[in-house]
Each structure stands twice: as structure tokens, then as C-alpha cells.
Structure 1
Amino acid sequence: MHNPTSGDGDDPKALICEGLRESGYEPTYFSTDEDEYKKAIETEKTDLIVIVGGDGTISKVLARAPDRSVPIAILAAGTANNIAGSLGIEGAPEVHAKHLSGAPTKPLNVGIATGPWGEKRFLEGIGFGAFAKHLDGKAKGDTREEELADARAMLRDAIVAGRPERFEIDVDGEKIVGDFLFVEVINIGSTGPALLLSSDAEPGDGLLDIVYLPVDDRVAMTRWLEQDELEGPMPLKRTQGRCVSVVTEGGVLRRDDNVWFEPEKAQIIRISLEDEPFQVLVPPPNR
């Protein structure tokens, strides 16, 4: 399952297919730009599902995958590559493809969220406020590093201009109420422009991480984002839990990289994790 628009502009399809054959697989190619992949992911029998692309492509494909007994291979070809990074996956896709045979697996939890979209799966997280708003913009840059830097500048601007919202958060029965610039309920530690929101987050630990920015910490957060080299933890509040509900005033919210603007009324979003994770092949680094 390949997103042909991801990566640096080169088309690695032939090299990836060659690498998969070296790993003992006979690949069948589908482009995620065409609808055929949807039927294939839902109905075809296979020994392995290989996803080539960034976080959006991974989320789009796995949202349709019904069988958790089939292992997943992620060949990261996006900009931020948050999901791959959280699992310890690194290296060029065409190289990574050669080393899947016998690779150990790591679990990847799948979130389920009920909101204005109905009931949907997610992999990265559900977000509210300034962080969600900045994801709607298109970062610019000639290189991955420049694009990430521009995205972080956009987040800083969104936080500076952001209007605090009143949130009521329930985490396994514990209440958190306050005026926050953003709230993120995440399955993996890094999200958005490769920003580490929670160093405690593990993609397969069965826990959601809840991070939020009180309005009083606006200046500290903008100064953190203005560093030439991002150092130290973000000035955020954090907790963990299994079942989360968030009542918002009706501002901006996102599910993975899908953003909704200004719902007409207050929303309650219910968030949890499905019982069975995906199993993702993770070859040792430097192979």
C-alpha cells in the first residue's frame, strides 16, 4: 500500500518490491491514490500488509484493516514519520524492505473516538485547540528539516494567537477542569511536526497519554518553540489513562491529521483503545 506522493520525489516502487522479494515475499502493489486498495485491504488474504508513506497513509490504511493476525510492515516515507519513529523504525524504505524476514514485532494500539465524525479509529491522537488548528496549515520548505521548522513556527503562532477554551476532561473517573490553549489525547509520544509531547507514551502499552497547556504557560511554551535546537521537555501537564472523555466549548478539533473547525455547539468526545493491537515488524536498526 504505497502513497506515491510521499517522500522526496523519487519513486522507490521497484526497489521496494525487489527488497520485499529478498525478504521472501511476493508483493502485490496498490496505490493509496486509487480506490482499489480499499477493497484489497478489507477482503484479500495476505501474509503481510506493507505500508509505504507517512503518518496519514498509515492511519488511512490501518483504519480499514480488519484482521489483527496479519502482521504490518511500515516503510516510513513521510515528513514527520511519528508512527514509525515511535516504534523504532528507521532507514530508507527500499533498505528496510530487505530486512523484514524474521523481524520481531511490536504492538501498535488502535484508538477509537466518538465525535462529530461518528465512531472512528485513530493511531496518533485526538486534539483540541491551538495544536489542532496549526495542523490545518501547509508547512513549507525545500527539505524535511525546513518543513518541520516551518510547522513548528506555525504552532508557535497558533499558541500566541490562541484563545483559551474551557475543558472538562475525565480520565478513568478523575476530573481535570480548566482553561487550556490545547488538549491532546495521544496514543504515541510524538505528533504533528515531530514534536515529542510525552516521553512516557508507548504505542503498545494500552494507555492513552493526555497532555494539555494551561493558559498561564503560554509564554513558556512559545519560548520553548523558539529555541534553535529544541531541548528539554515541553512545559505541558501530563497524565495517563485508558478511557477519556473531553467536553469542549466547540472549538477546533482533530482526529489524526483530519481537522474540524468551529463545531456549532459544545462537543463531548469519548476516547479509548481497542483491545487487540496490530503487530508491526521492526527489524533491528543498522541492518
Structure 2
Amino acid sequence: MKKAQIIHNPTAGNAGHSKENIIELIEKEGFVTNYFTTDDENWESFSNNEMDVIFLAGGDGTIRKLASAMIESKMCESHIPIYLLPMGTANNIAKSIGIFKKLSAVPSKKEEEIQKFTCGKLKGIKAENFFLEGAGFGVFPELIRQMKEREKDDETSDEKLKRTLRVLLEIVKNFKAQKAKIKTDGLKIKGSFLLVELMNIKYIGPNLKFAPNADVEDDFLDLVLIPEAKRKAFVQYIESLINETSELRDIRNFIKILRVEKLEIKWKGSKLHVDDILVDDYDGKKIRMEMNSKTLEFFTNSPVYQEILKEKSGT
């Protein structure tokens, strides 16, 4: 029997998932399990256990915690595949690699297909040196700050996504654009921006598909720019999402996207984000961003995985 290491964030999303339920689902499929919750003080010690696969039950933040632990312990070199059970609010990483909560949304692929996921690398920030989703400046660091200040425990994931859009709308209306200097692949870019993002995945924030062609397996990142002059179009886009109308949904109305291998940036503001982590003491010095050599591996399709997703989603 294969040995499965379970890593579980019991507070992810609306916390509608228990230790017992997750263990039961996985053991039902023939695995011998070992369980850790990210609330455990020494949960990173899971890396000392024998395992054939990892089951990760949580959201985007939990995936980052696991990636950090695997990079620190050099587990990435062991190529241990991860079964991702998306239980967070946005689940942007899962959506970007084609893993959805409902079985009917899982694309048909070859049995036991592995999706390689290359991390990004940062230089010039003391606290954070890698990213999975992306890193950037402007309205999203402010959104992270405000959402942390306005946490609610009694809302569903869908309700939180809607509330996040409403908060983002007010930020975009009032955010003071900041100047940026960017050097990337032989280009020099200057201007005042509402948003500068270097994205590794397709989605950001409340499921906004700002990098539709992002590929987590290649050696490129997507530089996403929203200049101050496009504020009105950006506002209209968010309003169309909140009101669930199809008008003004084309991101090309306000976004510029460049495929890049690496870049250097200076930003006038004091805040940036690295994945869902807010860095609020940025000193304005040059930051370098590029792809890393560290790679995670996710199962995106298998009979076992489909059965677990099926039972978990109630389909």
C-alpha cells in the first residue's frame, strides 16, 4: 500500500472539512496515511516521514507553506507528487492548473498526469525569496491589507469573493497611482500605474484571470500592467463582475501583458505582495524577479483523485 502524507489547513475557506473526513476519503482509496495540520507547531517535520505522495487540503496560502517547507528541506529534489484538494476561498493555483472542486469541471487527461510547477525567485527582499502565484505592487497589496483588517468568520467562500470584489472596487476608485521603473528583456518601461504584477499563474485575487496564457511549467512569467489612464475601464470591469453582467469583461480594455523571463523594478510606494503575503516596509530599492530552479509536481488527473474530488464535492 502506498504511503500518503496529509497536510491539512483546518481553517481554509469556510473550514467545512474535518480531519476525520479527509483521512477517511484518502484511506478509502487504499492509502496508509500520516496526518499533520498546519496548526501544529512542528508540522514541517513531516519531511522526515516516508511517503509516496502528499495530499494537501487547503487553499493558496497552504500551498505556499508546503512549498516553503519542501524547498527548505530540499524535498523538491525527491519529486514527490502532490494531490491538491482545493479547500480555500479563491483556490487560484488549483484553478490555474485545472483542478476544480467539482469532478465535472476536471478536464479529461491521461491517467496519473503530472503537472510540473516552477516557482518564481525574488532578490532584493529580505523576508521573501520565492513566489508561486506572483509578486507585485499597487492595488493588490492594499487589497490584502484591507481584507486582513476586515476578516469575517461567518461567510462562505462565495460570499468572501464577492466582498473582496467590492473592497477592490473602492480601492481602485481611490488608489493613488505610483511611478515605476521596469527593465525586462531589453525593454525599459516607465509610468504611473495602478497595478504592476509579475504573475506565474492565470488568476489573482478574487479569481481575476489577468494572465490567461500563463504556463506554470515554462520558464516565463507574465508582466501585467494597468496604467493610471485605464482606471475607468478597470472600475467598469470590476463592476461588471459584481453585477454579474457580461459587459466590459475584456481585460484588453485596460491591461497590458508581456511575457518575460526576468525583470528589475523600482516602485515609489512602500508596499508590495508576494503571493498572499503583504510586505509593508519596501524601501524602494531595486528588486529582481525571475524563474527559479525549484519545481513542485501536482497530480491533475487520476481515478483515485477523481473519486476523492467526487466525494468531497458531493457530486
The two structures share one fold, judged by TM-score above 0.5: yes
Deviations 1:147-176 (A, max 9, x none): 111111111211111111111112223221
Task: Answer yes or no: is 1:162 the counterpart of 2:171.
Answer: no
Aligned residues with identical type, % of pairs? 30
Distance 1:76 1:216 in 2: 37
Task: Answer yes or no: is 1:186 the counterpart of 2:186.
Answer: no
Conserved? CA contact 1:224–1:230, under 8 Å? no
Deviations 1:194-233 (A, max 9, x none): 1111111122222111101100000110011011126433
Task: Answer yes or no: is 1:59 the counterpart of 2:59.
Answer: no
1:253 paired residue among 256, 272, 291: 272
**Cα displacement (A) at 1:142:** 2.6
Unaligned stretches of 5+ in structure 1?
Answer: 94-101
Conserved? CA contact 2:272–2:280, under 8 Å? yes
1:104 paired residue among 113, 120, 131: 113
The 1:230–1:63 alpha-carbon spacing in structure 2 relative to 1, beyond 3 Å, is farther
Distance 1:119 1:55 in 2: 16
**Cα displacement (A) at 1:279:** 1.3
Distance 2:166 2:16 in 1: 28
Conserved? CA contact 1:112–1:119, under 8 Å? no
Distance 1:78 1:119 in 2: 22
Unaligned stretches of 5+ in structure 2?
Answer: 1-6, 104-110, 308-315
Distance 1:246 1:277 in 2: 24
**Could you say which residue in structure 1 is the equivalent of 2:313?**
none
2:23 paired residue among 4, 17, 38: 17
Tell me the number of residue pairs that the alignment of Structure 1 and Structure 2 aligns.
279
Distance 1:230 1:213 in 2: 22
Give the TM-score normalised by structure 1: 0.89
Task: Answer yes or no: is 1:38 the counterpart of 2:44.
Answer: yes
User: Which structure dedicates a bigger proportion of its chain to helix?
Assistant: 2
**Could you say which residue in structure 2 is the equivalent of 1:233?**
250
Q: Write the letter of the residue equivalent to 1:83.
A: I
Q: Write the letter of the residue equivalent to 1:115.
A: G
Conserved? CA contact 1:186–1:210, under 8 Å? yes
Q: How does 1:79-158 map to 2 (within 5 A)?
A: 79-91=89-101, 103-118=112-127, 120-138=129-147, 142-158=155-171
Q: How does 1:204-283 map to 2 (within 5 A)?
A: 204-227=217-240, 228-229=243-244, 231=246, 232-234=249-251, 235-261=254-280, 263=282, 265-283=283-301
Q: Write the letter of the residue equivalent to 2:288.
A: R
Conserved? CA contact 1:50–1:72, under 8 Å? yes
**Could you say which residue in structure 1 is the equivalent of 2:80?**
70
Distance 1:197 1:55 in 2: 17
Deviations 1:41-95 (A, max 9, x none): 3x333211221101001111111102221111111000000001111112269xx
Conserved? CA contact 2:13–2:156, under 8 Å? no
**Cα displacement (A) at 1:283:** 1.6
Give the TM-score normalised by structure 2: 0.82
Distance 1:276 1:201 in 2: 18
Deviations 1:249-285 (A, max 9, x none): 243201111112253x312211111124211001269
**Cα displacement (A) at 1:119:** 5.0
Distance 2:112 2:22 in 1: 17
**Could you say which residue in structure 2 is the equivalent of 1:98?**
none
Conserved? CA contact 2:177–2:228, under 8 Å? yes
Distance 1:73 1:286 in 2: 11
- RMSD over aligned Cα atoms: 2.3
